[in-house]
Structures are given as C-alpha cells and as structure tokens.
Amino acid sequence: MNMTPRLLFVLARVPALALIVAISGCAVGPDYKRPEMNLPAAYPEANQGSTSATGEETIATDWWTLYGDTELNELVASALRNNSDLSRAVAQIDEAQAVLDQTGSFSYPQVDLGVSSSRSRSSTLNAQPLPSGTPAITTANRLSLSTAFELDFWGKLRRSTESARAQLLATRYARDVTALVLAATTTQGYFTLRSLDAQLAATRATLNSRIESLALIQRRANSGLASELEINQARASRADASLQLIELQRQRSLVEHRLGLLTGKLDLQIESGDIMQLPTPALPPVGLPSTLVERRPDVRQAEQALIAANARIGVARATQLPTFSLTGEFGGSSEELGNVLKSGGRIWSVGLSGLLPIFDAGKYAARTRAAEAVHRQALAAYRKSIETAFSEVADALTNVTQSAAATEDLKIKFTATHNALHLSEVRYRAGYSDYLEVLAAQRSANLAELALVQNRQAQLAYSVDLMKALGGGWTSGDEPAAPDSDAAVEADMAASDSKQSSHRVPTDR
C-alpha cells in the first residue's frame, strides 16, 4: 500500500472515530425539568359574572378587535408595525439567532485553507558551513487544508447550544411581551382618549348651562330679583366649568401625543368619539384553570432563562474534565509552485490531543458554583413570574367584576342628580330656594356624569388588564407542555413565530 491510499484510509476513519467518541460521550450537568408550582386550582373570582353562555371558550390573540372600533384596530396595527421598542426586540432576536448559529458551529470541524510562499537566504559564513550542494537561497511554497475539532465527550458543546437555543426563544418571548404590552398600552390610551372626549362633551354642556344660568341671574338682578352675591356665585360656577374644560382639553392633547409616539405617527390626530358605545368583551369562561398563566410570554421568557442557566451548569462542569481534540492537515509543499499539488510534494498529519486541568487554584470549581447560583436566581425569577401572573389575573378579575357591579348605581346616581338639578332650578325660579341649592345640584350632577364616564373607562381598561394578564386572550385547555425535549422547544419556537405573525410585527430581514 503506497502513501496516498494509506493516507486516505486513515483520514476516512478519523471522522467516524470522532463521531463514535462524541456519541458515546454523556452530557454532564442536570437535565432540565419544569419546577412544580403549587397554585390554587382556580382564580378567586373566575366564575363571577361569566358571560360564556354560548360555550365559546376562545379569545383570539388580536383581542383588541373585540371592542369593534375601526380606529382602535388601526392604531394597534400601526403600533405593532412602527413602534421602535418592538423593532428593537426584533433586532435582539436576530442577535440571539446569530449567537445560536455561532455556538452550534463549534460542534463541527473547522477547515482552513493555508497558502504560503517564502524565499530566504542562509549565511555561508557561519562556523558550521552549509552542506555540500545546499543552495544558500531557497524557495518554499505551501498549500494545505487544516482542521481542528474538539470532541464533545462531556457534552459541553451540546449544553452551550442548549443554552443559546433557550436564550433565542427567550428573546422571541420578550418580543411577544413587548407586543402585548404595546397593544394593551395603545388600547388603554385610546380608551382614555375616548373617556376624555365624553367628559369634554359633558363639561361643554355644563359650561353652556352655567352660562345660561349666569345670564338668567343677571336678568333677574336687573329686575331686582337677584342679588350681587348670586351673580358672583354664578360667575364663579361658570369659571369652574371653563377651567375644567381647559384641563380636560390639555389632558386629551397629551394622551393624543402619547398615542402618536406609540404608533410611530407623531402628527397623529384623532376625531372625537363616544366611549359609551364600546362593548366590553366577555369574561373568561367558568372553570378557567389557574395554570393558564404559564402560557404568558413573560412567564415563558423566564422559563427559557431558567433553561439557559440550567444548561450553563453543564458547560461549567465540563470545563473541569479532560478536553480531547482531533487535528489534521493535508496538502503539498514544494520549491516550485507548479509542483505543490504533485504526489512528491504531498504532506499530511493527523493528531489527537488531550488536556486535563491539574491545578487551577479553584477557578473552574468557582465557575461551576457561580453557574449554580445563577440557576437558583433564574429559578426564583421564574417562580416570581408565575406568582405575579396569578396575582395580576386575580386583580384584573376583581376589578372587572366590581366595576361592572358599580355601573347600575352610577346610572341611578346620574339620573337622580340631574332630576335634582332640574327641580332646584325650578324652585329657584319660583323663589322657593336660594341659588346655593342650584350650585350644589350643579356640582353633584356634573360629578355624577363624569363618574359614570370614568367608570365606563375603568371597565374597559380593566378588561384590557385581564387580556394582558392572561397573556393576550385565552383558549380552553391551552396550557404549555414542559420543554423537556428539542421537539418541545421547536414547537415553542413555531408557536412564538405564529403569534408574532398574527401581530403583524415587521422584521428587517
């Protein structure tokens, strides 16, 4: 067997040997398992006021469309398309994907092409003369392929890839968190704007009424039926309504500016609307499981951070164990450039090396302890995210049900105060009461009307809080499976991408 077939024979078996060693190696470090969480079976007020009489138990992720407002739908779509925070979150996904690709590449050999050409002259005046026939000037040309491959005997590279994959998925869930918060903030800002529209309309009506009252009192004063005191009281009442109108206009402008920033339309202008015409979406169906919070993107993001920290323990432990690497080179070397690829100029080498830390002053052990401490922190953060999610859903349910329960009494109060205002004005004109009674009735009627509008805003805002607390809508039986396998992780990635597509968030790829 000549040199060339023997070399091919050896090289053909090196990858097979590396594959056998890599496959036979075990991945050190703990395998991830989702921590157990002892949550109550259901939310405290999950069954109060449920409107799921039709058996519908699914709310789509584009939940803001349930309010049936075209202007709101366009605002949210614009926010999800143009918002800078969301664009930044998408760029972070691209960065995490690149890190995963880079980490995964370490599991494969790196092949480099080396080319060199040199010309040198040796001294002829040394104490040891050049051998006879050796030229003083030499030329060397070299062309070779070289490779170096670390055998993943302890699973260090696999754990690194597992960590990078979890970090990628965490950035995808972070994007979903940003999209959810953005949609909720835009929706609640829109409801605030519509509430201010209704309050402005009520205040304008109040201002017009007080202007008419002032004119009436002035006419009565001209006839000797009203005093200067009553005129000043009416003027102060009119000024109060005017100041209230100015303040509400200021607040509306600020909310409109805020919506312009969220949607990427800094010159945004929104026509007035009626908040009382917006419907309130149905409450969650009876029997909504508390474990549904585990599908929230922030909870899943925290879990992926936990998975990444868990994998880094294996990476740290693997650095304390021997490292084995395969090296190889194949090419040609010759004085004449045209002879580099000829069989006579053939060069090759194959090597296996090992490295075992003997004394490191506790450096690698300290790294392992640090990785374990980071894992405990991530575990605490994951548990905290679930507890916070449960609390937010419970709070939102309480707010939704109690604000709805207050609506009827506020309507009664609104009607009663306006009736009282009418009667006080009739009594004042007939001379049965003084103007202070009218002023008190005006204030009560105005406050009752504003309270009714503000309660409507609160109902809608609390329904948004509930949507956000549940992770953006809900589905009966929609509980994420524990990501204990690559298949589950890939399924999570696909689900995250599908949700992102439904939000119509652009990518810059």
Residue matched to tokens 């937010």: 392
The DSSP code for 346 is E
Task: Give the length of the chain.
Answer: 509
Strand duo 137-151 + 346-355: pairing? unpaired
As a whole number of angstroms, the distance between CA 410 and CA 418 comes to 12
Cα torsion 466, 39, 313, 17: sign: negative
As a whole number of angstroms, the distance between CA 10 and CA 352 comes to 13
Contacts of 170 (CB under 8 A, 6+ apart): 96, 301, 304, 305, 308
Contacts of 372 (CB under 8 A, 6+ apart): 313
Query: Residue 410, SS3?
Result: helix
Token pair of 79 as six digits = 């926010």
Indicate the helix (H) or strand (E) that contains 332: strand 323-334
Q: Say yes or no: domain 37-107+155-321+363-503 is CATH 1.20.1600.10.
A: yes
Per residue of the chain (509 residues), what is the pLDDT tens digit? 444 444 444 444 545 444 544 444 578 989 999 998 888 877 766 555 444 433 345 677 889 999 999 999 999 999 999 999 999 999 999 999 999 999 888 888 889 999 988 988 888 788 788 787 788 888 888 898 999 888 888 989 999 999 999 999 999 999 999 999 999 999 999 999 999 999 999 999 999 999 999 999 999 899 888 889 999 999 999 999 999 999 999 999 999 999 999 999 999 999 999 898 888 877 666 567 777 788 899 999 999 999 999 999 999 999 999 999 999 999 988 888 878 888 888 889 999 989 888 888 999 899 999 999 999 999 999 999 999 999 998 899 889 989 999 999 999 999 999 999 999 999 988 888 888 999 999 999 999 999 999 999 999 999 999 999 988 866 655 555 555 544 555 555 555 555 544 444 433 33
* Domains of the chain by residue range: 37-107+155-321+363-503
In this structure, the number of other CB atoms found within 10 A of the CB of residue 128 comes to: 6
Indicate the helix (H) or strand (E) that contains 467: helix 435-469
Backbone angles phi, psi at 353, to 5 degrees: -130, 155
